A and B are shown apart, each in its own frame.
Chain A
Amino acid sequence: MTDKSLISITDFSREEILRIMELAAEFERDSSQQTLQGKIVASLFFEPSTRTRLSFESAANRLGASVIGFSEPGNTSVTKGESFHDTIMTVANYSDIIVMRTNLEGAPRYASEISRVPIVNAGDGANQHPTQTLLDLYSILKTQNRLDGISIMLVGDLKYGRTVHSLIQALAEFGARFTLVAPRELELPQEYKDFLHERGLTFVETTEIGQEIGNVDIVYMTRVQRERFSDTMEYERVKNVYVLRNEMLAGTRPNLRILHPLPRVNEIAVDVDSNPKAYYFEQTENGVYVRMAIMSYLLGLK
């Protein structure tokens, strides 16, 4: 029973994370609970994001809430030069909870300080995307029947990938073992390595997927983007190294599952899709249950 905001994954304790997992499972068993009947969810997408917005709006509708908002800032008061502050103060008077995606980093934190209704961060620039992390955790829990002591391989852009950073922070609470696979230019920032060291967690760094894939429970793929490279020659050299193909899954653990925050471009070959170990589409379905759980929890209705 709470009335708080979710801005950064570190805002939630281990107990709160587990509570969200429990609630998500409850909504998965019965997705027609009208927990938010009569409530209004404001969905403010200052930066477009089709997948996240639809997932939130689907969750709100399933809970019986009405949704107001915008999917991009064009044709709104924002383009007339209204401050972010004034937009939030106004929308807080029209709604019971605000879901927002911004390109400016820290904007949801600021909103949570001035708004009288809870704020859910649906992604702020390269900073945080906590609802993605919670749905990643739920997908891990569902496929492995546990969160403690998972062996996970994170592949691709570990430098700029915010989903990777938040997932590492969250899984550290559960004593995970990490294998970090990235090109030198995109390796995990030092602050996150320090974070793991401080908690006494082991991690292996490598530049190729290699044999280690046989020793993990989860492979978390991310996209290696051309624009992240200062040296385009380097990009050409590595772009195919971080592609997961079906034949690489031979001999892997039976409980292995492949996760990806999506959208995918070419980092998972389409021949993986039909492998039962591919889990990225189920992962998006889990997103709806997790967001139902988050909104109900933040409003103190569950």
Chain B
Amino acid sequence: MKHDKKLEVTAIENGTVIDHIPAASLFKIIDILRLDKETHRITFGTNMESKRMGTKAIIKINDRYCAPEEINRIALVAPNAVVNIIEDYAVTKKLQVEVPDEIRGFAKCANPKCITNHEQMGTAFKVVRGVDGRGEPSLKCCYCEKVTYLDQLQIIK
């Protein structure tokens, strides 16, 4: 049997490559960026080898450039993700994601008695640190004022 030296995922000509995603967060990111509704050609790879992370996931979106505020939404579940902007097969920009101070619209409040879980309305959270005792970011609901921890995080579809 012949072994071809091949890239695990083929390179793209133009578009966005999101790298260094924890493998477990891939499907959350698909929901956050609503990639399931996309019509562009997208390649997903998961459980790939990573020297830094053990296993990682990667997303390649052809012909679409994600805005930084869109990208920063994924920082909650992929704090070390790197976003590469590709033009003519070359990386023209490398962006490190940053956890925003405020999050609107895609996270679900974990409090079943919160108004946002009973009305057709958007959610809004302030990102707070330290409340989980581990220094990880958590989401404080702007409505019910309760905290949703990252391990409870659900994405509104």
Which one, A53-61, A100-108, A174-182, A288-296, is touching chain B?
A: A100-108
Interface check A66, CB cutoff 8 A:
no
Proximity string of chain B (112-125) to chain A, C-beta cutoff 8 Å, 1 when within and 0 when not: 01111011110000
B132 smallest CB distance to A (angstroms): 10
Which of B116, B120, B130, B147 is in CB contact (< 8 Å) with A106? Answer: B116
A234 smallest CB distance to B (angstroms): 25
B94 smallest CB distance to A (angstroms): 37
Q: Give A79-94 interface residues, CB cut-off 8 Å to B.
A: 83-85
Cα separation A107 to B116 with both chains bound (whole Å):
8
A105-B146, A127-B145 known; A110-B115 Cβ under 8 A: yes
Q: What number of B residues sit within 8 Å (CB to CB) of A?
A: 19
- Contact status B145-A8, CB under 8 Å: yes
Which of A103, A106, A190 is in CB contact (< 8 Å) with B143? Answer: A106
- Contact status B121-A191, CB under 8 Å: no
Number of chain A interface residues as a range: 20 to 34
A106, closest chain B residue (CB): B143
A111, closest chain B residue (CB): B115
Most buried by A among B120, B130, B145: B145
Interface check A15, CB cutoff 8 A:
no
- Contact status A106-B131, CB under 8 Å: no
A104-B114, A106-B114, A191-B131 known; A85-B145 Cβ under 8 A: no
Q: A104-B115, A194-B131 are in contact. List 16 more A-B contacts (CB 8 A).
A: A102-B115, A103-B113, A104-B113, A105-B111, A105-B143, A105-B145, A105-B146, A106-B115, A106-B143, A106-B144, A107-B143, A109-B115, A109-B142, A125-B144, A126-B113, A191-B131
| Listed A/B pairs (7) with beta-carbon separation below 8 Å | A83-B120, A103-B113, A106-B114, A106-B116, A109-B142, A110-B115, A110-B143
Binding site for B on A (CB under 8 A): 8, 83-85, 102-107, 109-110, 124-128, 190-191, 194
